[in-house]
Structure 1
Amino acid sequence: MSFAAAVAAKPAARGVVAARCAFLALLAFYSFRILTHPVASNYVGETFLHLVNLPFHEAGHVLFSPFGRFLQVAGGTIMQLLVPAVVAISFYMRKDRYAAAVGIWWLGESMADVAPYADDARAGQLPLLGGVTGSEVEDYHDWEVMLGKLGLLTWDHSIGSFFFVTGGVVMAAAIIWGVMVSFRQPEAD
């Protein structure tokens, strides 16, 4: 459905398109706010969605604990990224493309949320769960542990930047796809 067709559509269909686009505009604004702050500022870690991502991150440590220390530590980030990916795939399989786009956006936001943590691996200055920083407690900062074991600790800023930039690209692509889906099939999805 083109923009002109959406305008000429039934009022209910126009309302669906308008509501979807309004929500996508909110996600675009949220994305813009996240992406216009430096990774090291941890702005994304102070947002509402960080509190949504955090339980999945912590659950990942528990779920991956039977597989050794490295995977227990990595499990936090794995779960934090896996849950929105599974949500997106689930909606896509149900042919709800708009909801899949929102799920993909969440994956991008979650990637941006991982970025400051990875970026902080050497400095260990971010306040962590438990009220301490990575520099205060040995073997406590996930990314310090992972990158240290892999011999990649000096790559922390590059890895943090990778997560941040990739997260931004994923969020932008998801918003664009969501708008396209909204105008194509406002009633079917």
Structure 2
Amino acid sequence: MPAGRARKLLSSKEFLFLIPVGFYFLWCAWDPYQWHFIDGANLVIHEAGHLIFMPFGEYVMIAGGSLLQVIMPALFVFYFYRNEKPYSAALVMLWAGESILNVSVYAGDAIQMQLPLLGGQDSVHDWNYLLERAGLLSATPQIAGLLRLGGTLVIIGGLCAAVMSAVNKACAPQPTEPEPEERGFHSST
């Protein structure tokens, strides 16, 4: 990349925005057990998922919280990608990855059940219920580990896609000012 384009990339708003955002989401991947501000949005979407999936029976309703929590950011990724907004799609991939990490923490708590639940101690622990009914409670560490790996890979993929989008934009040829004839002006000769 020529020096001029490298300077343009490093000073672009996309790249400058990506630096703190990238570090934030890498921190989320490094320490998913820490409460992150985006988890507030994840919690609201998670709880809405229980209501939305309620008509499909108890098991699907309980799974619906974690399902919607992952589906919602994935829908935004699809929307931005489909509308040819790759940088926006990549940024929302970071949220999708963090949401999967958040689900991995909840799934990993299925045996111990020590996380505070919104409804208090009498609430159903979604992942304990789901894994116990599926006969997979003993596989809790493996399931949580796969979710954590998946979430981390989605975050890394989102960061790579965002950097590539910023590079492509910085390296794209800039439109030049059209000649007067191209703007509809003609000489009188």
Same-fold call, TM cutoff 0.5:
yes
Identify unmatched segments of 5+ residues in structure 1.
none
3-state SS, counterpart of residue 88 of structure 1: helix
For residues 118-129 of structure 1, what are the structure 2 equivalents within 5 Å?
118-129=107-118
- The answer on 1:107 being equivalent to 2:92 is no
3-state SS, counterpart of residue 12 of structure 2: helix
Report the Cα distance in structure 2 between the residues aligned to 1:78 and 1:5, rounded to whole angstroms: 45
Q: 2:36 aligns with which of 42, 47, 51?
A: 47
Q: CA deviation at 1:19?
A: 1.7
Paired-residue identity, %: 32
Larger radius of gyration: 2
Q: CA deviation at 1:27?
A: 2.4
> Which AA in structure 1 matches 2:5?
A
Name the structure 2 match of 1:161.
145
Output the TM-score relative to the length of structure 1. 0.83
Output the TM-score relative to the length of structure 2. 0.83
- The answer on 1:66 being equivalent to 2:49 is no
- 1:113-159 CA-to-partner distances (Å, cap 9, x unmatched) read 111100000111000112x2xxx436x00001100110001111111
Identify unmatched segments of 5+ residues in structure 2.
174-189
Following superposition, which runs of at least 4 residues in structure 1 exceed 3 angstroms of deviation? Answer: 2-5
The count of corresponding residues between Structure 1 and Structure 2 is 172
For residues 1-189 of structure 1, what are the structure 2 equivalents within 5 Å?
2=1, 4=3, 6-7=5-6, 18-37=12-31, 42-43=33-34, 46-130=35-119, 132=120, 136-137=121-122, 140-186=124-170
| Contact 2:25 2:94 (8 Å CA) reproduced | no
> Which AA in structure 2 matches 1:34?
C
Report the Cα distance in structure 2 between the residues aligned to 1:92 and 1:74, rounded to whole angstroms: 27
